[in-house]
Structure 1
Amino acid sequence: MSLTDDRSCRVSVIMLSVWTLMMMMMMMLVTPTASNSDTHHRRKHDSNLEIYKRLFETKRKDQLNALKNLVELNDINQQYKIIDIMLKGLFKVLEDSRAVLIAANLQPDDLFPQDHKIKEAYSHVVENTAFFGDVALRFPRIVHHYFDGNAEWSGLLRWGLSFCNQTGIFTGGAHQHVLTLMSQELGITEKSPDFINPYRTERDDMLHTAEAFQKILREEDKRRRKEEKRKEIRKGPRISRSEL
């Protein structure tokens, strides 16, 4: 194998790994935890919430493992692109799930839902809000870039946080701590005097003004403009030669 072939092989492996990671991250957003409560009779209806809590713990482990892979990617350009796609998908899922829950008039402190569609929406809200907290704390600069000034996302997240805090699923423990830290990191709630983002690094602080991060933002904005321009061209009327 030549040196050129070896380099091409390495690039292919890297791109495959990034694609695989991206698909893993997206699956975290749209695959709710499954409950076997539909096929087993329960003496108490609210025991289903306790069942879901255990499943939620497993889901959180899967989310954190996927996020660990993204952190270890150690390529800010690829991280930026993956998070870009992931956040858009996350907030779309959150928006759709909120619509389902509102239409069903489900309150967060109601008994755990049994209807499949409502249960799925409930899971999506709880799991994606928690997952967003993980992402925001580990990639604060990238998330701030997208979140700050986005009123629609801010409204969705505030609603999601309120919903989660009333379910009882997050009461006490590490998951509640994630929501609290995320709220303070993003300025949704006032920072406590002793607030520290335990995942923020010196690199995060440097990226805010570093040329490397600014270059990535410029490249990404340039790519988006080109993409929007191509879409506009496709939508425009086409004139055949016979009409000229």
Structure 2
Amino acid sequence: MAVHSKKLWFILLYCAAIVRTDETVTSQQASESVSVRQEDINTNTVALFERLFQLKRSEQKDAVQRILAIKSVEKQNKLLKLVITKIMEVLLQSRVNLESSGYLPGSGFPITESLRDALSSMIENTAFMGDLVLYLPDATKAFLKDNEWNTIFKWSLSLCQEAVFLSNNTKKMLHLVAQELNLIEREPGYFNPYAAANQRKPVDLPEIPQKKKVKKKISKGPSLSGARLKSEL
């Protein structure tokens, strides 16, 4: 296998690990919440979720940079499709679990472990997909044109925006994603430098007309030529 292919395979495995729900962590969440009082469970689990979510976000941003570093557009799109496919699988399963449980958008962080897992997984993968939309807008939006993926992501994005326990920074990022996808009206100052239409192109400067050189008339002094010499004598 070529070195470049190995690199792509490594990035794919790295992204897949980020998308996957970590069952060890969620079990630890459950065990830590047992020792606290019932009325404190929601507060503690939200705080723990936020810490783990920030760690996951750091990994996701690193994964996006790895994808951006791929020079070949064809290979980048191929990897992007595999990553988005996995993200959508997780979002779809999370949607099934959340809707079957009767969870309502805007509700607090759930106490039930299985429901917490589904919600956490959905939020993490929505944020990851949001990064891809913002940093690779043209390539990513091509995969979201009038299909099931588009429907799933709109649903997860809407649910995350209604979550009362997400930080302001996360909500601002999701707000930018909604603008990029034209799900809401773009604000006057909105600008995505990663969009192909906004990439800086060299500007052809107008040619400056060059001034014509004016030959200066040099007044001649006494000449040594025979004709002039005779007239001056």
Separation of aligned partners in 2, 1:39 and 1:197: 43
* Residues 41-190 of structure 1 aligned to structure 2 (within 5 Å): 41-43=35-37, 44-47=40-43, 48-150=45-147, 152-173=148-169, 175-190=170-185
TM-score in terms of structure 1 length: 0.72
What's the C-alpha RMSD, in Å, of the aligned pairs?
Answer: 2.2
Tell me the number of residue pairs that the alignment of Structure 1 and Structure 2 aligns: 194
% identical aligned pairs = 25
CA 1:117–1:46: 2 relative to 1, 3 Å: closer
Identify the structure with the greater helix proportion.
1
Q: What are structure 1's unaligned runs of at least 5 residues?
A: 1-10, 207-244
Deviations 1:199-223 (A, max 9, x none): 33568699xxxxxxxxxxxxxxxxx
Separation of aligned partners in 2, 1:147 and 1:201: 17
TM-score in terms of structure 2 length: 0.75
**Structure number with bigger Rg:** 2
Q: What are structure 2's unaligned runs of at least 5 residues?
A: 202-233
User: Which amino acid letter does the alignment assign opposite residue 140 of structure 2?
Assistant: V
Question: Is the CA contact (8 Å cut-off) linking 2:90 and 2:121 kept in structure 1?
Answer: yes
Would you say 1:37 and 2:34 are equivalent positions? no
Question: Is the CA contact (8 Å cut-off) linking 1:181 and 1:197 kept in structure 2?
Answer: no
Superposition deviation, residue 147 in structure 1: 0.9
2:194 corresponds in structure 1 to: 199
Of stretches 132-141 and 160-169 in structure 1, the one that deviates more from structure 2 is: 160-169
Deviations 1:153-174 (A, max 9, x none): 232222112211222243412x
Separation of aligned partners in 2, 1:91 and 1:164: 15
1:239 corresponds in structure 2 to: none
Separation of aligned partners in 1, 2:109 and 2:141: 33
